[in-house]
Structure 1
Amino acid sequence: MVAVKVGMLHYILDHVYGAFMHRTKLTPQFFSKGWGGPKLDLLESLIKQLFPEVEGQNWPPRLIQPTWKTVWETKSACLKEGVFETPCDEQLLNALPLESHIARVALLAPKSVPAHNVACVVHLAGTGDHSFERRLRLGGPLLKENIATMVLESPFYGQRRPMLQSGSKLLCVSDLLLLGRATIEEARSLLHWLDSQAGFGKMGVCGLSMGGVHAAMVGSLHPTPIATLPFLSPHSAVVAFCEGVLKHATAWEALREDISMEKATMTLEEARERMRSVLSLTDVTRFPTPKNPNAVILVAATDDGYIPKHSVLELQRAWPGSEVRWVTGGHVSSFILHNNEFRRAIVDGLNRLEWKDSPL
């Protein structure tokens, strides 16, 4: 009975936080400028190219050459920040806002250890994570395990945020698909760089919430075994925006009134069904099973008001051999309180991989 009451408190906290953030009108809603017009049609086509029919497509990805600067270093560790041109193809590049054309990345790595004896995990951003700091704090304690942390700043976030966008509130539905597709392309190129240029001995990809969805997609498409670590993540953005707390942060009326669709008007219910159809493109269960499903560890919260349990279990069923670990809490409280569980999943996922052969 006590556990039930505590769980309910975590669930209520998610809804109280969501009500304060999304219903008080202190900030704009998501997609206040509508669907995105012709850009949405383009992105629907491009995202379909990620699906299983073309497993292993576009590998190796475009080679990137980040320009690095050292932020700080000690006897045992070094933090560098780098920039590189996004490897997205011309169609995607033309759709991206100019502010997002240059990608930013941070790399926190141990010193005095050969790269082939070090693992590196790419950390992708959750909704609202505009900077490097939170993910560097998550990865920092892993240095003692010889695990480096690479943090990618997402398109539309941080210094890559379009001028007219307020915080994390993407202006159009097409922006969400564009953010996801560009993040996947950039993360795949970073993994290729870590392997072929930096020479790390093992690799992984992780993310919280939205970042976990992107991490799952990247891990699915990688041609060799890597640790794939979605934390507090749904199997699809449909769940986040149509079922969880974020449905209250969505500008349904603006979407209903947007006449960029074929018909001049639509009902609110038609707008919601259209959203489900568009966001079904983000369904990770349609992606290939990663090369080593035993190195897939999902960490989910027992009382998550943003991500229902059934969504987590759908991905586990789609990827036999993957593991789900449950932490007690809601989305917000687990995000704050369970970093040690996320770190343990990173270590365990990497431990289920073989080391790459060391150079001669």
Structure 2
Amino acid sequence: MVAVNLGFAHYLLDHLYGAITHRLRLAPQFFTGGWGGQNMLMLEQITKQLLQQGLQQVSAQHWPPPVVRPVWKTVWESRNARLQEGIFSTPCEDVVRQALPVESQIGRVRLLTPKNVPRHESSCVVHLAGTGDHGFERRLRLGGPLLKDNIATLVLESPYYGNRRPKGQRGARLLCVSDLLLLGRATIEESRALLHWLDQEEGYGKLGVCGLSMGGVHAAMVGSLHPKPLATVPLLAPHSAAAAFCEGILQYGLAWEALMRDEAAAAGMTLEKAKERMRTILSLTDITKFPIPKNPRAVIFVAATDDGYIPKYSMQQLHAAWPESEVRWVTGGHVSSFILHNKAFQQAIRDGLRRLD
């Protein structure tokens, strides 16, 4: 009974947080600018072509990715560690680059490394941002304790976030649905190029990718498409963005009225039709359609038992699609697990890297 009540309390916390931020509209809504017009049509066409041709085949044709060599400056340095910040031009293909806001076309990363340890004896994990995770600090705090295990942390600032946020966007509330797909496409291409740089030019012994929530979806996609085995650690992640935006608490933060108005003249769109179109568009992010990673044993999902943002079945579908992967359950909701379970997340990263041996 105590465990049941505790689980309900975590679930209630998610809904309380969601009510404050979404239902009461104390924060801006997502997609007040509508679907995205020509950008949306372009992205739908590109993604459908990729799925038809086969993601694995297309990924192999586009490997290696464009060269990325960040320009670095040292942020701070101690006896045992160094933190550097780098900038680079996004390696996205021209059609995607041109659709990105000018502010998002320059990438930023921070690299936290142990000192006096040869690269080939170290590992490095790329940390991708969850919804609302601007800047670097949250993920650097997650990666910091891993330094003692000779695990470096590379934090990528997402397009549309932090210094890469376009004018007119408030916080993490993307203006158009197409922005969400552009954010994901650019994040995946940038992550793959950075991993290639870490492997070929920096010479790290093992590599991994992780992310929380939205970052976990992107991490799973990167792990799927990378041509070499990676430790892939999606944290509190759905199998598709549709599960988060159409079924979880986040659905109450969407500007459905603006989305209906955007299409109403041509399609007479109702709320139900808007939700159906959203599910169709976001089905393009369905990770179960992606290839199984090269070493599925090095894939460790961490899910929360009482997550109000991510339906439990969503994680189960993802695990079923990658049957040799592992799912670890932590007690909590989406919000409380993000706060309370960093040690479990860190252990999953360590174990994923060990399975690359």
Q: TM above 0.5, one fold?
A: yes
Structure 1 contact 55–288 (Cα < 8 Å) conserved: no
Please give the per-residue CA displacement for 1:14-56, whole angstroms capped at 9, x wherever unaligned: 0000010112222221001100011101111223326345342
Between the aligned partners of 1:285 and 1:26, the Cα distance in structure 2 is 35
Residue of structure 1 aligned with 2:355, choices 333, 349, 352:
352
Residue identity opposite 1:58 in structure 2: H
2:150 is aligned with what amino acid? N
Once the two structures are TM-superposed, the CA of residue 131 in structure 1 deviates from its matched residue by: 1.0
Equivalences for residues 236-247 of structure 1 within 5 A: 236-247=240-251
Match of 1:205 in 2: 209
Spell out, residue by residue over 1:282-315, the C-alpha distance to the aligned partner (whole angstroms, 9 max, x if none): 0000000000000000000000000011000100
Name the counterpart of 1:265.
268
Q: State the partner residue of 2:295.
A: 292
Q: Identify the residue that residue 308 of structure 2 maps to in structure 1.
A: 305
**Equivalent in the alignment of 2:112:** 108
Distance 2:321 2:267 in 1: 39
**Match of residue 7 from structure 1:** 7
What is the deviation of 1:229?
0.5
Aligned partners of 2:293, 2:189: CA distance in 1, in Å? 17
Q: CA deviation at 1:190?
A: 0.5
Tell me the TM-score normalized by structure 1: 0.96
Contact 1:47–1:181 (CA<8 Å) still a contact in 2? Answer: no
Deviation at 1:76, TM superposition (A): 1.1
Within a 5 Å distance, the mapping from 1:194-233 to structure 2 comes to 194-233=198-237
Q: Which residue of 1 aligns with 2:29?
A: 29
Equivalent residue for 2:47? 47
Q: Give, in whole Å, the separation in 1 of the partners of 2:292 and 2:60.
A: 12
Alpha-carbon distance in 2 for matches of 1:193, 1:139: 20
Q: What TM-score results when the alignment is normalised by the length of structure 2? A: 0.97
- Paired residues for 1:331-350 under 5 Å: 331-350=334-353
Structure 2 match to 1:357: none
Give distance in 1, aligned partners of 2:203 and 2:37.
43
Could you tell me how far 1:183 is from its partner in structure 2?
Answer: 0.3
Residue 283 in structure 1 maps to residue 293 in structure 2 = no
- What are structure 2's unaligned runs of at least 5 residues? none
Distance in 2, matches of 1:64 and 1:53, equals: 23
Q: 1:97 to 1:57 in 2, by over 3 A?
A: same
RMSD between aligned residues: 1.1
Per the alignment, residue 358 of structure 1 pairs with: none
Q: Distance in 1 between matches of 2:202 and 2:217?
A: 26
Q: Which has the higher helix share?
A: 2
Is contact 1:217–1:284 with CA below 8 Å preserved after alignment?
A: yes
